[in-house]
Every structure is written in structure tokens, then in C-alpha cells.
Amino acid sequence: MIKIAVLGYGTVGSGVVEVIEKNKDMVNKKSGEELEVKYILDLLDFPDDPYGDRVVHDFGLILADDDVKIVCETMGGVGKAYEFTRAALSAGKSVCTSNKELVAAHGPELLALAKEHNCNYLFEASVGGGIPIIRPLNYSLTAERIEAITGILNGTTNYILSKMEYEGADYDDVLKAAQDKGYAERNPEADVEGHDACRKIAILSSLMTGKNVDCRKIYTEGITKVEPRDFEYAKQMGMSIKLLAISKDAEGKTLAMVSPFLIDGDHPLHMVNGVFNAVFVRGNMLGDSMYYGRGAGKLPTASAVVSDVIDCARHIGKVIMCFWDSEEAELLSIDQSQRRFFFRVKTEGEDKARTLFGEGIQEVRLPGVTKECGFITPVMTEAAFADSYGKLDGMTVGGRLRLEA
């Protein structure tokens, strides 16, 4: 029998216990051994919970128990979670986590520590909730040179954007609903300002390059400046607005960024709505493949954590390879990356916009709206766009949006 400890009995942690108990037969069969949750570490007691008798408050108990071979870290953050993960790995206990903040900040170090102590640090649930994406990148696409990854990697923001787009819902109301459903981070700023998606694309970029992509260096913009009027223009153009996380091989460097994008109706990510996430991967041999599923929420995320638990159970005393070195990957500044842009101007700025952006500019008008007009630029660099857009100071309305090809 393999004993397990779950650190943090919140949304994901309680889901992990539920998945292990509800799918016991299947989980045990696939693990090749019986698994049992022996400890649940949390700050609170849960006297009315069916597993309340397993709750402890002292991590030392778990660390000292040689029967505990696998620890699920579902606490979040980079404080105690980092300390406990290091201690567990140093004691030869494998750790499975949904904590992308910790994986993005200390991934290579924790992987090296696991290797040193003949155990594993697995993090399938850290990107895309329940979607299998870490394992495909680590095991299945190993013959590929990955050229690009484009993902909708945050369930909360995709839920908000979809509700605003299709139901005209109010931003604050939908954010509250996402929090109530357990999708949002403890501080939802991490979701809506793009930091969560940034951590996730940092993890995927690191697996793509085999080097460490530092999330603090990734250009990141959230959804807080997207306005209801932007959705009207998007609809008029047959487009949708999505928070995309992008990583591309750019002549030996990596271009990584997070930003809201306008995407065409025929883009593969266009139909990804609500809490669903998707990761679109381009390999140099396979071509395109896409991974789709629920990007947040208790049971989908817990299912991914438990898939790692099973992998650890199958590999007790053996290290599962993961190519993620501590060497820093070189990032390309987004200034020279090229794309089209959408922006809105007041009527008095229309002529100036045409002059600044030249003949290739396309006009977008909303029926019945006379005081402003939208424009789509030709393909240009970020730097050139910023320069011309800045010259429209005082004549623009709202923000600007990027277009994904």
C-alpha cells in the first residue's frame, strides 16, 4: 500500500481526495498498488467532513512518516508550499502539484532535487487544469521540434470573456461567478491581469525549449482594459476576443507573450469558450495538434493531480525524465514582432489615423455609431504601431487590441 498526503484541503485538494476515493478501483488498478490518503494538511479543521479525521496541522508528521511516498501540494503560493515541497523531495517523497506559481518560479531546481533523491516532481495540473498537456509535451511529442504554442490557458478569464461576448454580462458579476465556482486564484488579479497565464506559458515554453523561461521577463497584458464596445466590433468583424498565451521559436530565441487578441471565426481557438482551455501546438514534423478541456475547477484539476499520483506510484524509486534545464532561455523582445492591430478613434481623429497608418488601413463601422470608428492596421511591428498610435493621443477611444493570424 502507498500512503499519500494532501497539502491544502481547498478546491483542488478536496478534489484530489474525492477522485482517489470515488475512483478507487480504477486508480488502484492503474497504480499497480493500493493508494490511501493518510494525511490532509490544512490550517483549519473539517469536523463534518468524511475525511476530517485525517486532517493534521503539522507538516513534520508527514515528513517523518516513511510510509508516505507521495505528497500532493495543492496549497498554492511560493512560501510554505516551496518549503514543504523541498523538504518532501529531499526526503525522497514524490510531489504532485497544481501550483503553477511555484513550478514557474522554481521548476528546474525542484526537478533537480527530485532527481537527486530518486523521486519525482510532477505538475500536469499546473497548466490547463484537467487538460493533458505536460505529459504530451514530455512523452508524446518528444520526436518533435516544437515551433509554436498558442494557448487559452486561463479558465477564469475565458469564462469572463465568453460571458461578456455572448451574454453581454457585466465584468464584475462574471468575475464573482468565476470565484464562486472555484476557478479564480485566491487573488483574482493573477487571473485578470494575465499573471496566471504568464506562469503557464513560462512552464510550456520551458518544456518547449528545454531551458528555463523566466516568467518575470514575459510581456504580459490582462483583460481589464477590454470594453463591452470591443465585443461589438469583434462581432461585426466575425471575430472573438481571447486572452492568448503565445510562445514561438524566433530564430533561436523565444518570443513569449500574454495578451488579449482578436481571433478570426475560423481560428482553431475561436470555439473555446467558458472555463474551457485549449493548447495549440505546432511541431516541425507532426504539424498542428490541439489539446482541449476544462482549464479550471475542482474535479478536472484534481483528476490531473491524481494522474500524476498514479505515475509516481508506478515509478517509486525511478526518475521520470523531464527536459527543463536551469540555463536561461533567450527571449526576444516583442517590439520587433509583427502583427495587425485594432484600435478605435473619435471622428475627429479618423483622417489622422489614415495618414499615420497609410493605405493598408481598414475601417470598421458599427451600425448606428457615429462618434467613433474602428481601424485595423496592416501587418507592422509592435514598435512601429506604438509610435504611430502614440501620435493619436487624445483622439483614441478605449485601448487597442492585437490580431492573431
Where in 5-64 is the site for ligand NDP (CB under 6 A)? 8-13, 41-44
Given 129, 222, 260, 349, the residue binding ligand HSE (CB under 6 A): 129
Q: Is 185 in the site for ligand HSE (CB under 6 A)?
A: yes
Under rule CB under 6 A, residue 107 binds ligand NDP: no
Q: Which residues, 137 to 166, sit near ligand HSE by CB under 6 A?
A: 154-156
Contact of residue 186 among ligand NDP, ligand HSE, none (CB under 5-8 Å per partner type)? ligand NDP
Binding of residue 196 to ligand HSE (CB under 6 A): yes
Shortest distance in whole angstroms from residue 107 CB to ligand HSE: 15
Site string for ligand HSE, 259-298 (x = CB under 6 A): ------------------------------------xx--
Q: Is 374 in the site for ligand HSE (CB under 6 A)?
A: no
Is 235 one of the annotated active-site residues of the chain?
no
Distances (CA, A) of 19 to 15, 16, 23, 36, 273: 6, 5, 6, 12, 25
Q: Is residue 151 a contact residue for ligand NDP (CB under 6 A)?
A: no
Q: How far is the CB of 363 from ligand HSE (least distance, A)?
A: 36
**Exposure string for 163-201, b = 16+ CB within 10 A, e = fewer:** bbbeeebebeebbebbeebbbbbeebebbbbbbbbbbbb
Nearest-angstrom CA–CA distance, 91 and 117: 7
Residue 41 binds which entry of ligand NDP, ligand HSE, none, CB below 5-8 Å type-dependent:
ligand NDP
Residue/partner pairs of 320-323 with CB below 8 Å, 24 or more apart: 320/120, 320/122, 320/138, 321/138, 322/111, 322/138, 322/207, 323/138, 323/207, 323/210
Cβ-proximal residue to ligand NDP, closest one = 10
* Residue 310: CB atoms within 10 Å: 22
- The residue from 2, 70, 71, 76 that contacts ligand NDP (CB under 6 A) is 76
Per CB under 6 A, 136 contacts ligand NDP: no
CA distance 133 to 243: 18
Q: How far is CA 77 from CA 74, 84, 185, 331, in A?
A: 9, 11, 10, 25
Q: In whole angstroms, what is the distance from residue 102 CA to residue 147 CA?
A: 26
Among ligand HSE, ligand NDP, none, the one that 247 touches (CB under a kind-dependent 5 to 8 A) is none
CB-count exposure of residue 144 (10 Å: 0-12, 13-18, 19+): middle
Q: Which of 3, 100, 200, 211 is flagged as catalytic?
A: 200
Cell of 218: 514575459
Comparing CA positions, the residue from 42, 37, 39 lying closest to residue 21 is: 37
Nearer to ligand NDP, 182 or 398 (CB): 182
Nearer to ligand HSE, 3 or 294 (CB): 294
Binding partner selected for residue 121 from ligand HSE, ligand NDP, none, CB under the kind-specific 5 to 8 Å limit: none
Q: d(Cα 366, Cα 364) in Å, to the nearest integer? A: 7
Encode 180-194 in three state secondary structure: HCCCCCCCCHHHHCC
All 3 cell numbers of residue 276?
Answer: 474551457
Alpha-helix residue ranges (DSSP H) falling in 123-239:
134-135, 155-167, 171-180, 189-192, 195-209, 228-236
The 8-class DSSP code of residue 45 comes to -
Q: Does 124 bind ligand HSE (CB under 6 A)?
A: no
- Among the listed ranges 22-30, 83-91, 181-189, 375-383, the one in contact with ligand HSE (CB under 6 A) is 181-189
Q: How far apart are CA 57 and CA 42, in angstroms?
A: 6
Q: Cα separation of 113 and 107, whole Å? A: 10
Q: Which of residues 69-108 bind ligand HSE (CB under 6 A)?
A: none
Distance in Å, CB of 61 to ligand NDP, minimum? 12
Given the complex with ligand HSE, which of 5 and 184 has the nearer CB atom?
184
Least separation in angstroms between residue 290's CB and ligand NDP is: 20
By a kind-dependent CB cut-off of 5 to 8 A, residue 191 interacts, out of ligand HSE, ligand NDP, none, with ligand HSE
Name the minimum Å distance from CB 16 to ligand NDP.
Answer: 9
Ranges within 300-329 binding ligand HSE (CB under 6 A): none
Angle, in degrees to the nearest 10, between helices 155-167 and 228-236: 70
Q: What is the DSSP letter of 5?
A: E
In the complex, the residues that contact ligand HSE under the rule CB under 6 A are 129, 154-156, 183-185, 191, 196, 295-296
In the complex, the residues that contact ligand NDP under the rule CB under 6 A are 8-13, 41-44, 74-76, 80, 98-101, 125, 129, 182-183, 185-186, 296-297, 301
Active-site residue numbers?
200
